């Protein structure tokens, strides 16, 4: 017969850690990952005469465990999707999708490090 003591306490602690991750820790991790991607997208953005596209890439608010990164559609980056996808007269110069693809692992690592740090792991 195996006698385990302290399992109830351990399970409560694990549940508390899960609750903590779903709250502020999740927001901190998402913010860290989003800022990293925003910085890389800014580096990779095509530069025109003004450089407005790169400077107008923003991180949105965190909602339901998601965060949006992209050009401020009311700002000077309105035409950013034309750069990314092209038009009938302009060749596409994608920079957002390739950045997301190339930086996916680094972004995940940064987010995991935030979670580990916040949980004291």
Q: What is the pLDDT of residues 2-54, one digit of tens each?
A: 455 555 666 666 667 666 666 788 889 899 999 999 999 999 988 877 777 88
Q: Whole-structure pTM over 0.85, yes or no?
A: no
Helix (H, G, I), strand (E, B) or coil at 43: helix
DSSP structure class, residue 3 = -
Q: Are 99 and 44 in contact (CB under 8 A)?
A: yes
DSSP 49-88: SS-HHHHTEEEEEEETTEEEEEE-TTTTTTTHHHHHH--S
Please report the pLDDT score of residue 17 as a whole number.
Answer: 67
Reply yes or no on whether the pLDDT at 84 is more than 60. yes
Q: How many C-alpha atoms does 66 have within 13 Å on its Cβ side?
A: 2
For residue 103, what are the contacts with CB-CB under 8 A and spacing of at least 6?
36, 37, 40
């Amino acid at each position: 017969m195996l006698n385990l003591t302290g399992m109830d306490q351990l399970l409560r602690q694990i549940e508390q850690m899960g609750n903590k991750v779903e709250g502020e820790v999740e927001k901190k991790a998402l913010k860290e990952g989003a800022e990293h991607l925003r910085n890389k997208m800014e580096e990779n953005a095509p530069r025109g005469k003004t450089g407005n596209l790169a400077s107008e890439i923003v991180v949105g608010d965190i909602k339901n465990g998601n965060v949006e990164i992209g050009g401020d559609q009311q700002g000077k980056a309105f035409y950013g999707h034309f750069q990314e996808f092209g038009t009938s007269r302009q060749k596409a110069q994608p920079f957002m999708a390739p950045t997301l693809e190339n930086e996916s692992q680094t972004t995940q690592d940064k987010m995991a490090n935030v979670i580990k740090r916040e949980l004291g792991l």
